[in-house]
Amino acid sequence: MIDTHQYGPWAVIAGGSEGVGAGFADELSRAGINLVLIARKPEPLEETAAQVRANGVEVRTLALDLLSADAFDRIRSDTDDVEVGLLIFNAGANSYGHEFVSGDLTGFQGVIDLNITSQLQLSHHFGARMKERGRGGIMLVGSLAGYMGSEHQSIYAASKAFGRIFAESLWLELAPFGIHALELVLGVTRTPAMVRAGLNFDLPGMNVAEPEDVAREGLAHLADGPVWVAGGNYEAAQKRSGFPRDTLVQGAAAGMRRLLGRG
């Protein structure tokens, strides 16, 4: 059961139109929590909004790119009049993957701006108001990719490591004020984004989670911070945190090269 006193009456979901984000919206609306859904593309956003409105809650939609100059002002003007008890930051993506030294620094900066800067701004804004009220929750969606360096996604992986340790600090600092902070670590999940990225979900031994299951699991464990590894990947996260780093990092990279037929 979702604690509507702790996390209501409104939740903001950045990246709330499809996949795990749509799963959060469905679960929260069934619990009676009103929603502000933020995503770039209007069509899937309106589709998800219509579906969750059918659960009887108020739903506001905000079609915007979090990296646009007026994004924060628009979010404020759409949320300043309501009490946001839950922020879910589910908008991170690897918008630019490339070998680092030959890559485009501007492309890498876009990954940082979304996964780090935008996440900090929203956590700061809504977190400060939750602290005043003495209740609320912040869920930052992370990735198993954040536990290890890897080829052609150096900045994405590093930004996800940033998010994990940032979530741990938020959890420590906000717990005395009655606020739950959690990083929800995702493994391979059957989301539209991962389908578009061309992931082969049928590879033998691959642990694939369904977005609705992951969303439900994350919301059920909001109070169990600072980090919740979803979809049965707890042991994988432990392994990826281990030592020695050289054999672990090289071993994972070799496995990835084989999967991609580049081994």
Q: Please report, as ranges, the residues that interact with a second copy according to CB under 8 A.
A: 99-103, 105, 108-109, 112, 116-117, 120-121, 123-124, 127-128, 130-131, 146-155, 157-174, 224-227, 234, 237-238, 241-243, 245-246, 249-250, 253
d(CA 165, CA 140): 11
CA-closest candidate to residue 230, choices 90, 66, 114 = 90
- Residue (50 or 260) nearer to a second copy, CB: 260
Least distance (Å) from a second copy to the CB of residue 22? 28
Which residues, other chains included, contact 205 with Cβ-Cβ below 8 Å and sequence gap of 6+? none
Nearer to a second copy, 112 or 199 (CB): 112
Q: How far is the CB of 159 from a second copy (least distance, A)?
A: 7
Task: Compute φ and ψ for 130, nearest 5 degrees.
Answer: -65, -40
**Cis bond before residue 226 (omega within 30° of 0):** yes
Minimum distance of a second copy from residue 100's CB (angstroms) = 6
Q: Choose between 19 and 225: whose C-beta lies nearer to a second copy.
A: 225
Question: How remote is the C-alpha of 196 from its chain's centroid?
Answer: 18
Closer residue to a second copy in complex, CB, 45/116 = 116
List the 227-229 sheet strands across, edge first.
59-63, 34-39, 10-14, 84-89, 136-143, 179-186, 227-229
CB 97 → a second copy: shortest distance, Å?
A: 11
Q: Which residue, 84 or 174, is less far from a second copy as judged by CB?
A: 174
C-beta of 149: minimal distance to a second copy in Å?
2
CB 231, CB 186: distance < 8 Å = yes
Smallest distance from a second copy to CB 207, Å: 18
79 within 8 A of 100, measured Cβ to Cβ: no
Instruction: Measure the CA–CA gap between 235 and 217, rounded to whole angstroms.
Output: 17
Q: Quick one: 107 or 192, whose CB is closer to a second copy?
A: 107
Per the CB < 8 A criterion, the answer to whether 63 and 45 are in contact is yes
